[in-house]
Structure formats: structure tokens, C-alpha cells
Structure 1
Amino acid sequence: MAKASHYFSRPQSAAAQALANVIAGGISLTDALPQAQARVKPSRRALVQALCFGTLREQESLSFLRDGLLNKPLPRREADIGALLNLALFQILRSPTAPQKVVNDCVAATRELGKSWAAGLVNAVLRRFLREQEQQLARLDTAPQWVRHNLPKWLCHRLEKDWEKHPAQDAQGILSKVSAACLAHPPMTLRVNLAITDRDRWLKQAAAEGITGRRCQFSPVGVILDNPVDITALPGFEQGAVSVQDEAAQLVTGLLALESGQRVLDACAAPGGKTLAMLEQTSGLQMTAVDVDDVRLQRVRENLARAGQKAELVVADATAAHLLWREPIFDRILLDAPCSATGVIRRHPDIKCLRREADIANVKQIQAAMLDSLWKTLKPGGRLVYATCSILRDENDRQVKAFLARQPQAKLVPFDAPWGHDTDMGRQILPGENDMDGFFYAILEKPCAN
């Protein structure tokens, strides 16, 4: 592998290295991508990003095509060469770059990666694909379902099981919807701070600066931009007039039934989008924001400062919240629980590589421990909203159902909404529906003492 100080002349080299770090190294693309981009000229960094995101979105079908072109599987230690072949196939199929140039660049990239031995292999595989492109692509028609949907095999299986008995939804239809959403580029969605401006006024101001968008369908404070822009270009961003937040995440404030004077706990608060939204939309809240990671909590601090809002920030593990607050003191609690993040794959396609089915059992235990601990800190008559960006029932409906079995005095609050799908315990938004991320919400209340 090339030394860290070495600059790559070809973006394919940097992208292959980043992808290998994700696929074989278990590093998030958020961490791997900047390291790779730093090794190419600034003018090539956008292409490195596009290659990484595009290749990961179609990882399953690209790997299927690649493996069919190889005489034998590549060993795990050659993950960068496997990634290079995948991104080459992606570039040939999806980019306007001439196929011959893609082949030449990727052959040269093997040398930049310190893998000169692979030059002939990469050349032969890609030239074979160009000769046999039609018949190679036809193999996808009979490929396993998870390959055609570009989703991990375990996730396809779970989604089928989760939705096979839903009275209003077809499991295959759900799979197709999720697959299409995960392949698409997500929109840039904003939350407008109505204490500073309103949506129409902000949209008019943005349009004057060449930034166009429209109102969100369900959030009364949401705006979807026609094209993403750098946050520093957003009118009023530095003054807290707008924040970046998906519409699905914006819906939580309406479920909490917030009132001035209430003491509110935002558990797992980082990076602070929901904390700030609650403070913006309901004045006079006594807000406490908790996160287990002090570095991530700093993001909450920065977001609050940008908008001129204040909250008590506490570094703590929400699974032990009852040890920190030994009395039920909160009127409202938001638990946006750690989860598989399967509802935001379209924004973070590396999730498909980083998550394993075995991870779900562990995260379920953490979610359950958080629910049990936080419940002890909720006042009688108080409300807890349980939220995840997961689309798996084990983390959503079944998690809430198990909690109700452990806490028989807890009351599930049914609610209707024009968004999402009704489930036994709450509402599930699927990724891509009405331009939203996948999200689950359930409302729990603690009865007043007799």
C-alpha cells in the first residue's frame, strides 16, 4: 500500500482505498473518505466522493458482476483491487467517461496502489466486461433477490419476514421501495426556525441567491432544496434561521406535545438537531441533552450556540439514566435510540457493509436498557417518544411491545398521521417515501398516580 503522504494522480486509486477501508476494514465512509480525498488534487475530490457513494449504493450487484468475471475469488487482503474493479464497473455503467479511459485509469491505479501484479487482471476483467456487457448484465435477471435489490442478504430476508403479514402492504413491494430509495440521491432538507423567519420568506430570500426549493409536505417548518448546497451558502444559517434536518426527524416535535415550562430530556442527543428543534418551537422549556460521547456532545453545544439557544448538556450513558436522576423529574423524554440505521442507507450506503445481522441482538439490548432506565426518570403523567431511524421490527414494534410487557403500567398512545404506515405499536416511515428517511415513532405515557 502506498505511503500516507503519497498523492494519487488518479481518483480511482483514492476511491478504491477508501472503499477497501470500508468493506474490509470496517471504517465508516465518513472517516475513510476525507483521508482518501486528501490524497488527490482538490479538483478531483468530488469525483472520489461520487465513485465511493455510487459504488457502495450498487455494491451487491457490482460484486456479483465482478465475481462472475473472475476465475477465482480475490483474497480478502486484496480488497482494494476488488473495490477498484467494482468502481470501474460502476463508472462504465453510470458515468459519461469513455469506457476505454476507465480501463486505462484503473489499470494505472493498480500501480499507484502498490499492486502492479493486478494490472493484467484488471485489464482482462474490464475488457471482458466491455466485450460481453449485454450477456453479463443479463445475469442480473436471475441473480438472487438481494443482489437485484442491492441490499445485504440478511436485510432482505428480515424485511420480507417483517412485512409478509402486514394487512395493507406487500413484502415484495416494500423491498422494491426500499431498494429504489437506497439507490437514489437523497434531498437536502432544512428546518426553518420560525422564531427568526418563516418558510415562504426564507424561500424567497434563498431564491434571490440562486437557491430554490419547496415546502415539505408534512413538517410545518420543513423545506426541501431542489439541489444540495454548502451549508455556508444558506441564508441565515450562521444566525440559526435554518438547520439541516430530514423531514422525518422534524416530525418528532409534534408527537411530544411540548408546553412551556416543561422539563425535557433529549437522550442520545448528538448532534443536537432535535434538541434545537424543540427549543425553537416551544419557548420556556427546561432542556437537558444527554450523550455518551463528549466529542459528539460538542456538536450539540455548537448547534445551540449558532441559534442562540441554551440547554443543560450532560455526558452520560442513557442505559444508566436512573442512576443520575434518581427521581422522576422529566415531563417529556425523547429517546432517539441507537439502532441499525437501516432507514438512512440512502445517505450512508456504507451501512450495508458495516452492519451485520448479529449486531441487531446487541443494539436491541441497549435500546431495552435505555427504555427501562429512562422510564424511571419520567414523571407520572409524562410522555416518552421512542424513535429510531431503523426499518426493522425487532428494533421498533417488537422492542416497544417487549417494553410494555416489562412495564404493564405504561400506556401506548395510538396516533394517526398522514405520513408513514400504521404498525401495532407506532408508525413506520419507509426510506424515500415523500422524500423522507426511514423512521419509526411510538408514544408512551406514564399514568398519573391514583
Structure 2
Amino acid sequence: MPNKTPRYLAVEILTAIAKQNSYSNLALDQVINKNRLNPQDAGFLTQLVYGVIQHEYTLDYYLAPFIQKPKKMDNWVRQVLRTAVYQQVYLDRVPEHAIFYEATEIAKKMGHAGVSKLVTAILRQLQRSGLPDLNAIADPIERLSVQYSVPQWLVAKLQADLGDDKLESLLATINQPANASLRVNTRVNTVDAILAELQPQFNDLQPSQIAKVGLVAQGGHLASGALFEAGDYTIQDESSMLVAPSLDIQPGDQVLDACAAPGGKTTHMATYLDAQRGGQITALDIHDHKVRLIEQNAKRLHVEDVVSAQALDARKVGEQFGEAHFDKILVDAPCSGLGLMRRKPEIKYSRQPADLMNLQRIQLAILDAVAPTLKVGGRLTYSTCTIVPEENQQVVAAFVANHPEFEIEPVPLELPLAQNQASPFVQIYPDDYQTDGFFIACLKRRA
């Protein structure tokens, strides 16, 4: 067996993610490019990695009765077993003999013959006994936690926030494959032209329901090819494409993007600006290497003439810029990322309840710091990729209570959002439009 099959690479990636707490999407892109996988293998590898992470609790529940000494099992061995069971349970077209054979060969290649025999024995026992019944779990929160592979504290919280019906709909959605979506760079091309160019290769590509400059497909690797490299489009989730229009940017505006990396929203906002009329975005990030990433994205997307990126902690904006300096400000705040559970499923395991209030303090500190730098009559958009009120509605309420010179305004939309229940804010859940979960609030500074 060649040691670089999708199954082998999946085990390597899953083991590395567990060890280094890295993001699955970044690890996947790196491995796909390094090994020059064809689209079919890249798609299968992606399905395996995301699937195993998404269903981790469920897979471990199925395996638990057949592992005698779980604490002594190496992580990579557990990943071999999870990958095999994931294929058995969730993939219809994968022959069982292929699953067993490759699991055994991977175990032999990564370890030794003894480990491969253990892997084979566990999989055979599970095959003979059948899957343990999830209904045997008496506690409803624990059952939902195992069934949808979400920590119990988060299940309980979402139940309290959303109610039972919305909770079930949301949990059922977050383990479905994330759509592939792109934002057309309207500086250099049009939505219709990009759709026509890409549809022969991605035949299910279609216009976004919620973003005028978005195209979406059920799958596929869109981050490659001549049009992508030329900057005619970039990869961005549909829900985050609602942020730039919410600011109502005019060609000559001075715009602050307080937490800009990697630059997706920065480069989107830049398409509304005109350098000859003085328009400019000041894009900040606390890390130098992320500032370089913003600059690279701005250059690829042909908006470097209106983007000025620099390393600065957004909480120190007032020390660098004077009172009433900017026409528009975006605070796309650091957050728990719980709206990204479809795209970055490892997030749900790494968060703790205390994170929500710790992040709220950071979010409010950034808003407090940037507020004086906004001109009277200017607009501030606050956005997050999370779905909990502690980081969304509660932050906006606390900020407005401390800053009576700001008032909440309805979020401007280019297309209607039938599923938005948070007016005057925008709160999108992953099950609403099969996108990332996202929150947007708009505030105006009055005299």
C-alpha cells in the first residue's frame, strides 16, 4: 500500500491536529498542496478528516465497549479506528473490505504487526456486535452530546438560548459538510462572468441566496485555478460577505478594520473605495505575519492601492489615531468561533464556558478603544462568527449603555434575510442558510 493514500493522510492529519491544536482547514490545504492530490483524492481526504472530527464523540461511544485499555492507546491508533468506523457508519459507497484492509495496513506501517492485529480485532468485534444504541443514554443532554458530538455544556447552553426545536435543527446541521463559497472581486470581474467560467468544472455552482457577490457549490476545491490566482475571486463564506455592505462605504471614506487578518472583509470593503478620491482602509492585526497576509491578499485581489496594513493591538487604536479620524469602522472581533462548527469542527471541543465572558471583555475593550476615533455621523459595524448572546447582543447592549453617543441602527442588507430573527441586528445560524453562523450590528455616532 502506498503510504500516501487519502486514508493514511487522514490519520496523519487527525493525529497532528489533536497534538498541535491546529485548524483542520489549514492542515488539509497544506497536505493537499504538498502531495498534489487529484480532485477525487482531495475530496475523499477532506471528507474523512472533517467527518471524523465532526463525529468524534459518537465514534468514541461506538468504540468504547471494544477498547479494553483506552488510556494506554496511542492517539494515532485511535485515529485509525475512528477513521475506519466513520467510513463504516457514515459513508455508503466505501467497501468494507477496503476499510478493514487499509486500516490494518496503516496500523502496520505506523506501528507494527501487533498494533495492526489489535485494530483488526476491534473492528471485527464491532462488526459482529453491531453499533451500541444511543438511546441507551438516559440523560437527554448527554444523549444529544454524544449523538451530535457536541460538549454537554454547549448543548445545555444552546438549549437554554434557543429552545428544543431550534437546538435540534442546529445540531443536525453542524455535522453536515460545509458548502464551498467564493466572493467575486467586482473590481476586476462580474458575478455572471465568473459563474459562466466556473460552471463547467463545478456544475452545481450557483448564486448565493444572501450575498450579491457570492457563488456557492455543495463541494469542490475552489481555492485554485487561473481565476483564483489572478484575483478574480477569493474564498469567503456567504454570511461574512454581509459585513462590508453593512458599512455603506463611500468611495472617499477613511475606513478602519480593527481586527483585519487574514483580510477577507478588508479586501471586500476595499472594492467600494477609490484611491483617487482619497479612500483608504487602515487594516490592523496584532501579529506581523498576519499583517503580511493581509498585504498579500490585497495585492492578489488588486486593492493594495487602498489598503494600508499595520501591526497594532486594536485596544491601542486611540494612541495611534486622533479623535474623529475615521468615517467607518469595522470591529470584526476576536470571538469563540462557535458559528464555524461546520467549517472548523474542532472549535466545539476546545471552547469552555469561561471563554465567553473572557472574550466579551476583550470585545468591549476594542469597541471602547475605537469609539472616539469615529467621526460624528460615522458608522461602526460590530461582527462576530459566533452564535451566543454573551458575545453578540450583550456586548452591543453594554457598549451602548457606556457610550450614549452611539445609537443602534438596522443592518443594511443587499438581499432580504427571511431567517433573521434578531432585527435590528443580523444573527444567522448555520441551519438557516447552510452557512457559517454570524452576527452583525450597526451603530451610528451622533453629536
What band does the TM-score fall into relative to the shorter chain? 0.7 to 0.9
Q: Aligned pair 1:245/2:236, yes or no? A: yes
Q: Could you tell me which residue of structure 1 aligns to residue 285 of structure 2? A: 291
Alpha-carbon distance, 1:279 to partner: 1.8
TM-score (norm 2): 0.87
Q: Could you tell me which residue of structure 1 aligns to residue 343 of structure 2? A: 347
Question: Structure 1 pair 339/409, CA: closer, same or farther in 2 (3 Å)?
Answer: same
The answer to whether the Cα contact below 8 Å between 1:61 and 1:140 also exists between their aligned partners in 2 is no
Give the counterpart of 2:301 among 291, 298, 307.
307
CA distance in 1, matches of 2:234, 2:76: 37
CA distance in 2, matches of 1:47, 1:214: 23
Alpha-carbon distance, 1:421 to partner: 2.8
Q: Which moved more, 1:379-388 or 1:351-360?
A: 351-360
CA deviation vs aligned residue, 1:254-294 (integer Å, no higher than 9, x gap): 21121222210111111211111112134342211111122
Give the counterpart of 1:67 among 28, 43, 64.
64
Q: Aligned pair 1:110/2:107, yes or no? A: yes
Q: What does residue range 80-229 of structure 1 map to in structure 2 within 5 Å?
A: 80-95=76-91, 96-114=93-111, 116-133=113-130, 136=133, 139=136, 144-163=143-162, 171-207=163-199, 213-225=205-217, 227-229=219-221
Amino acid at match of 1:155: L
The answer to whether the Cα contact below 8 Å between 1:266 and 1:335 also exists between their aligned partners in 2 is yes
Alpha-carbon distance, 1:227 to partner: 4.2
Alpha-carbon distance, 1:226 to partner: 5.3
Question: Structure 1 pair 281/41, CA: closer, same or farther in 2 (3 Å)?
Answer: closer
Question: Structure 1 pair 373/116, CA: closer, same or farther in 2 (3 Å)?
Answer: farther
CA distance in 1, matches of 2:218, 2:423: 35
CA distance in 2, matches of 1:125, 1:294: 48
The answer to whether the Cα contact below 8 Å between 1:23 and 1:354 also exists between their aligned partners in 2 is no
Amino acid at match of 1:307: L
Amino acid at match of 1:408: P
Give the counterpart of 2:398 among 395, 399, 402.
402
The answer to whether the Cα contact below 8 Å between 1:378 and 1:446 also exists between their aligned partners in 2 is yes
Q: Which moved more, 1:35-44 or 1:332-341?
A: 35-44
Alpha-carbon distance, 1:327 to partner: 2.5
Alpha-carbon distance, 1:24 to partner: 4.7
Q: Secondary structure at the match of 1:303?
A: helix
Question: Structure 1 pair 220/416, CA: closer, same or farther in 2 (3 Å)?
Answer: closer
Alpha-carbon distance, 1:127 to partner: 0.9
Give the counterpart of 1:26 among 18, 21, 26.
21
Alpha-carbon distance, 1:238 to partner: 3.7
Alpha-carbon distance, 1:376 to partner: 2.3
The answer to whether the Cα contact below 8 Å between 1:61 and 1:150 also exists between their aligned partners in 2 is yes
Amino acid at match of 1:156: V
Alpha-carbon distance, 1:402 to partner: 1.9
CA deviation vs aligned residue, 1:397-419 (integer Å, no higher than 9, x gap): 11212222322332122448632
Q: What does residue range 343-382 of structure 1 map to in structure 2 within 5 Å?
A: 343-382=339-378
Alpha-carbon distance, 1:332 to partner: 0.6
Structure 1 segments unaligned to the other structure (5+ residues): 1-6, 164-170
The answer to whether the Cα contact below 8 Å between 1:240 and 1:306 also exists between their aligned partners in 2 is yes
Q: Could you tell me which residue of structure 2 aligns to residue 168 of structure 1? A: none
Alpha-carbon distance, 1:333 to partner: 0.4
Q: Could you tell me which residue of structure 1 aligns to residue 263 of structure 2? A: 272
Q: Could you say what the CA RMSD is over the residues aligned between the two structures, in angstroms?
A: 2.9
Q: Secondary structure at the match of 1:84?
A: helix
Q: Aligned pair 1:338/2:334, yes or no? A: yes
Q: Secondary structure at the match of 2:88?
A: helix
Alpha-carbon distance, 1:27 to partner: 2.9
> Quick one: percent identity of the two aligned structures?
29
Q: Which moved more, 1:225-234 or 1:364-373?
A: 225-234
Q: Number of matched residues?
A: 433
Q: Aligned pair 1:8/2:6, yes or no? A: no
Q: Aligned pair 1:233/2:225, yes or no? A: yes
The answer to whether the Cα contact below 8 Å between 1:194 and 1:281 also exists between their aligned partners in 2 is no
